[in-house]
Amino acid sequence: MKFVIIVIIALSVVGPGILMGQQTSSPVAVSGFVDAYYSKNFNQPANRANKLRNFDIAENQFTLSLVELNLQKKAEPVGFRLDLDYGTTNDAVQPGNGSTLSVLQQGYLTAVLPIGKGVTVDAGKFTTHMGYEVIESKDNWNYSRSLLFAWAVPYYHTGIRLAYPLTDNLTATLHIVNGWNSVGDNNDFKSLGLTLNVTPMSSTNLILNVIDGVEQSDPAIAGKKKVFDFIVLHQLTESFSIAANVDYGDERTFGGLALWKGAALYGRYTIDATSAIAVRGEIFDDPMGYATGMFVPKLDAKEITGTYEYKFADAMIVRGEARYDFSNALLFDKKTAASSQYSQSTILIGVVATF
């Protein structure tokens, strides 16, 4: 009910023409999508959940993953963006957030300041700059998200960010935020982030992301938490693209320095205007089991994913996916609640309808 009320209020901002299905001259762009999936785990886990996943968690169930409505006004020189979300994905991104902000994935004001080539300032709540993948499945090459996106980086922040084009090929963005996955701050320290985005040639994009700050509320811990995130994207041919994502993170805790690291490789081949295939392989090393919260010593997890995509009339994306997760520890649940094994195999069908 909360989501419906906020959607109606948001749509009223752009005028009654949209609500009545009429043409409007409003400068606010409106878009969105509905995302649903069905996943089958061949381990037949008793808890009907896919282990180590973040958004495609539900097993042997039809699941409404995400409904998103986007409202955006281009900054000329002032604008805004609102992303209203509902579904199990939003529940995973913002667990336990009972405020009205729980349906707001992003909500920020944008201003372009006339300094040099123009400084773009965003203030509010926005998704993280960390990681190659994003929350919305339709904007990734695979439907399921990587181990790196699930465990190595945050999802969103509240604060300000300032972007400036240093050269024609290099843009720097400074982030000053309350912390990881939070609206308010739990301590007296702010977290700082940096993005350096360089395009050395038209076919290649290099991105370095960093975030550093104190995330613990207990002053007795007060250890810095930082992550370095490096992304390479290269267009080999008109039809074939590859990408790589490498992460390193650590945090000072009562038990010492907890660290995590990993790497993912991607490939995507466009068959024709309506279909494509994508593959992903990755490894995630969590020596103390701290990042995953499983506290398994010397945890080493890997996965391989293959995805086939088909588009209907540019308004519906259908993806079939097969994924194999495996680890050096008995992490993955089986049909008998008391048993587990070293791997899991899943298949999934995801459907995203856009508007």
pLDDT of res. 10: 53
pLDDT of res. 187: 82
The alpha carbon torsion through 152, 156, 157, 161 (nearest 10 deg) reads 100
User: Residue 150: which pLDDT band, with cuts at 50, 70 and 90?
Assistant: very high
pLDDT of res. 223: 80
Give the whole-angstrom CA distance, residue 180 versus residue 157: 6
CB 345 within 8 A of CB 42: yes
pLDDT of res. 182: 87
User: Residue 153: which pLDDT band, with cuts at 50, 70 and 90?
Assistant: very high
Question: Quick check: 60 pLDDT over 90?
Answer: yes
Quick one: 172 exposed, middle or buried, by C-beta within 10 A (0-12, 13-18, 19+)? middle
Complete domains list, the chain, with CATH: 29-354 (2.40.160.10)
207 closest CA partner among 215, 198, 216: 198
- State pTM to two decimals: 0.90
* Residue where the block lists tokens 């938490």: 225
CB 3 within 8 A of CB 86: yes
Region 84-88: what's the mean pLDDT?
A: 96
